[in-house]
Chain A
Amino acid sequence: DGGITQSPKYLFRKEGQNVTLSCEQNLNHDAMYWYRQDPGQGLRLIYYSQIVNDFQKGDIAEGYSVSREKKESFPLTVTSAQKNPTAFYLCASQRTGGIYEQYFGPGTRLTVT
Chain B
Amino acid sequence: ILNVEQSPQSLHVQEGDSTNFTCSFPSSNFYALHWYRWETAKSPEALFVMTLNGDEKKKGRISATLNTKEGYSYLYIKGSQPEDSATYLCAFIGKGQAGTALIFGKGTTLSVSS
Chain A positions near chain B (C-beta within 8 angstroms): 4, 31, 33, 35, 40-45, 48, 50, 56, 58, 90, 96-107
In the complex with contacts A98-B32, A99-B49, A101-B46, A42-B99 CB distance below 8 A? no
Interface of A is mostly: loop
Which residues of chain B come closer than 8 Å to A90, judged between CB atoms? 43-44
Which residues of chain B come closer than 8 Å to A58, judged between CB atoms? 101
Number of contact residues on B: which range applies? 20 to 34
Q: Nearest 10 pairs between A and B by C-beta?
A: A101-B46, A98-B98, A98-B93, A104-B43, A42-B106, A43-B104, A42-B104, A98-B32, A104-B44, A45-B101
Closest to A101 in B: B46
Chain B positions near chain A (C-beta within 8 angstroms): 4, 31-32, 34, 36, 42-46, 49, 51, 89, 91, 93, 97-102, 104-107
Measured in the bound complex, the distance between the Cα atoms of B97 and A45 in whole Å is 14
